[in-house]
């Protein structure tokens, strides 16, 4: 049975496409059966888009480390104004990454669920792995 990808060039640019076009229908069917839907991919991309902002990443990381922080403590932790922190928190909350709890005049933020920690932990590990492997062939 032919492979779905047969590449013949040796240079780095050649890795972006195959020199021949061979499709393995069984493999394509099997992958399509497990593939995320277009709607799921859109929701996933929206989460990454929200987290693409370094300030929001730091805010989420601070909240994860503390378990729960008020806006004042978050602003002091990440060295940002409270109004800027509040703006970012509204975005994070609207995408289900953090949740808010009001206690009197204070608002406390916590991760929406355990998946948020896993998402940031894995991303951080990936970034650290990439830096450790710089200069080495992968």
Give the per-residue pLDDT at 57.
Answer: 95
* C-alpha 58, offset from chain centre: 13
Q: What is the strand order of the sheet 106-111 is part of?
A: 69-70, 106-111, 98-103
pLDDT attached to residue 21 = 83
> Which domains, ranges and CATH numbers included, belong to the chain?
1-35 (no CATH), 38-132 (1.10.10.10)
Instruction: Specify the pLDDT at position 20.
Output: 82
pLDDT digit of tens for each residue in the chain (138 aa)? 444 444 444 566 667 777 888 889 999 999 999 999 999 999 999 999 999 999 999 999 999 999 999 999 999 999 999 999 999 999 999 999 999 999 999 999 999 999 999 999 999 999 998 875 565 544
Reported pTM: 0.75
């Amino acid at each position: 049975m032919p492979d779905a990808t047969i590449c013949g060039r040796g240079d780095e640019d050649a890795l972006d496409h195959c020199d021949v076009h061979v499709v393995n229908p069984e493999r394509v069917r099997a992958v399509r059966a497990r593939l995320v839907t277009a709607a799921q991919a859109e929701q996933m991309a929206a989460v990454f888009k929200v987290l693409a902002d370094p300030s929001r990443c730091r805010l989420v990381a601070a909240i994860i480390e503390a378990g729960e922080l008020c806006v004042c403590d978050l602003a002091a932790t990440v060295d940002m104004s409270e109004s800027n922190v509040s703006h970012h928190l509204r975005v994070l909350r609207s995408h289900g990454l953090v949740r808010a709890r009001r206690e009197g005049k204070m608002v406390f933020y916590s991760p929406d669920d355990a998946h948020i920690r896993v998402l940031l932990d894995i991303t951080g590990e990936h970034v650290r792995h990439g830096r450790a492997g710089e200069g080495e062939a992968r």
